[in-house]
Amino acid sequence: MKPYLIGTAVLGLAASVAFAEGVVHSTGNTPGFPKAYKDLAKQTKPPSNNWLLDANDDTERFRRLQVAMSGTDVPMWEITYRYEELYVAIQKNNWEMGVYHWDKVRDRMNTSGMKRPARTRNIEGMFLDSGVWQSMRDALTAKSPEKMREQFLTVRKVCMACHVAEKVGFLNDSSVFKRTESFPPSDK
């Protein structure tokens, strides 16, 4: 093997270790930019896994990050996960775990407003500044199983009311709201 071929083979091996470990193997298909993102075609370098570093400039790099980081939907996954873990924490009387998740729900609500400022009004008005967020936190730090349960069910209603206010009320059929609609009585 000629030295440059060995070099290429070693580089190729390093790349495959970096990007895909174990069970994922290259298909050998030619890389291509998705047609939906027309600006990508302006890139001087050919499409590769270096989707940020190979962009023509930093403005384009930031633009790509902004696209990839989504708007309200991905933060809502995180909020939903933490909301459901709060539900678990309440049943286990683990108020610290509840506060942990609840503080992060506030943070993610705020990043949602940063990304989609037209939603800030309801994020703050209905959820963060309305007393709903604070009352849930107070119920947790008061370590009162009754207050925690009561306040959680109020939170659930406000989540759903905001979906209606933001014209995505159809999302209130999401499975999480069924799973968290009440607390099992035996659990108290």
Is 40 or 176 the residue whose CB approaches ligand HEC more closely?
Answer: 176
The length of the chain is 188
Q: Does residue 93 bind ligand HEC (CB under 6 A)?
A: no
CA distances from 129 to 22, 73, 135 (A): 48, 22, 11
Is 83 or 95 the residue whose CB approaches ligand HEC more closely?
Answer: 83
Return the residue of 93, 115, 176, 183 that touches ligand HEC, per CB under 6 A: 176
> Residues with Cβ < 8 Å from 32, sequence gap 6 or more?
47
Residue 162 CB, nearest distance to ligand HEC (Å)? 3
Question: Considering CB under 6 A, how many residues would be counted as binding ligand HEC?
Answer: 22
Is 55 or 163 the residue whose CB approaches ligand HEC more closely?
Answer: 163
Q: How far apart are CA 23 and CA 26, in angstroms?
A: 10
**Which residues of this protein are in contact with ligand HEC, per CB under 6 A?**
71-73, 76-77, 79-80, 83, 119, 122-123, 126-127, 155, 159, 162-163, 166, 168, 171, 174, 176
